[in-house]
Chains A and B, each alone.
Chain A
Amino acid sequence: MNTSMKRFVVAGMLGGIVWGWVAMALNSATGAFEFEGSFVHDLITFAVGGAVFGTIVAGFLCLVGDIIPFRNRLLRAVLVSTSLWLLLKTGGTLLSHMDHERYHLVTSQTIQGLFLAVILGCIIWLFWKKEAKLRIEA
C-alpha cells in the first residue's frame, strides 16, 4: 500500500470511529432504537464498526475515486458511503424476504441509517481534507 493511500485509509478509519460515536449521539437524540447494550459496550462496538465502515469508504474512494464523474471530493465521499450503505441495505432487504423472522426492517431506523451514510461521507471528506493539509504542511 503506498504511503498516501495508507495515510488516507488511516484518516478514514479515524473518521469512521468519530462517525460511530456521532451515530450513537444521533440515535440517542432521535430515539429510533432503544439501546440494549451498556454505554461502554456500545462506545467500543460503535467505534469498531465505524472504523470498519470508514476504512472501506476511504479504501473505495482511493480505488474508484477517479472514475466517479464528480470533481467535488465531498460529493464523491458521500456517493461512495451512500452507495455502500444502499448495497448493504439491498442485501438486508433480500435477507428479510428470505427469513422474515430473523431479519425485519424498521422504517425509522432505515431513514436514520441513510442519513448516517451521508454524514459518514461528510466526515470522511473532512478527515481527507485535514490529512491532505497536514501532508502539504509536512
Chain B
Amino acid sequence: MEKIFEKEVLLKALFPALVVVAMAFTMVVIAYGVESVAPGVHDAFHDFRHVIGMPCH
C-alpha cells in the first residue's frame, strides 16, 4: 500500500517535469530545424526561426 502511494507521489512529481522536458526537446527541434529528428521541420518553421533570431541558412 505504501509502495503504491510512493509510486503515485513520484509519478505526480515526475510527470510535469517530463512534459516540460518533452516540450523543451520540441523547442530545440523547431529552433534548429533538426531534420533528422522531424523531417520537414526545417522548411515548416523556417520563417519562425529567422524571426526569433535563430541561426539558419
Contacts and interface: CB of A to CB of B under 8 A. Distances in A.
Interface in B20-57: 20, 23-24, 26-28, 30-32, 44-48, 50-57
Interface residues of A, number: 50
B57 A101 contact: yes
Interface stretch (A65-73, A88-96, A129-137): A88-96
Given A56-B20, A59-B20, A106 B50 contact: yes
Nearest to A103: B55
A96 B31 CA distance: 13
A104 B16 CA distance: 35
From DSSP, what is the main secondary structure of chain A's interface residues?
helix
What interface size band does chain B fall in? 20 to 34
A42 B50 CA distance: 12
A113 B23 contact: no
Interface string A83-120: 01100110111011000011111100111111011000
11 contacts: A1-B12, A26-B51, A32-B51, A37-B47, A48-B45, A101-B57, A102-B57, A104-B56, A106-B50, A109-B52, A116-B51
Given A32-B50, A111-B53, 17 more contacts: A1-B15, A23-B52, A33-B50, A49-B48, A52-B26, A56-B23, A59-B23, A63-B16, A63-B20, A85-B52, A91-B31, A92-B31, A93-B55, A103-B32, A106-B50, A106-B53, A112-B51
Interface of A: 1-2, 5, 9, 20, 23-24, 26-27, 32-33, 35-37, 42, 45-46, 48-49, 52-53, 55-56, 59-60, 62-63, 84-85, 88-89, 91-93, 95-96, 101-106, 109-114, 116-117
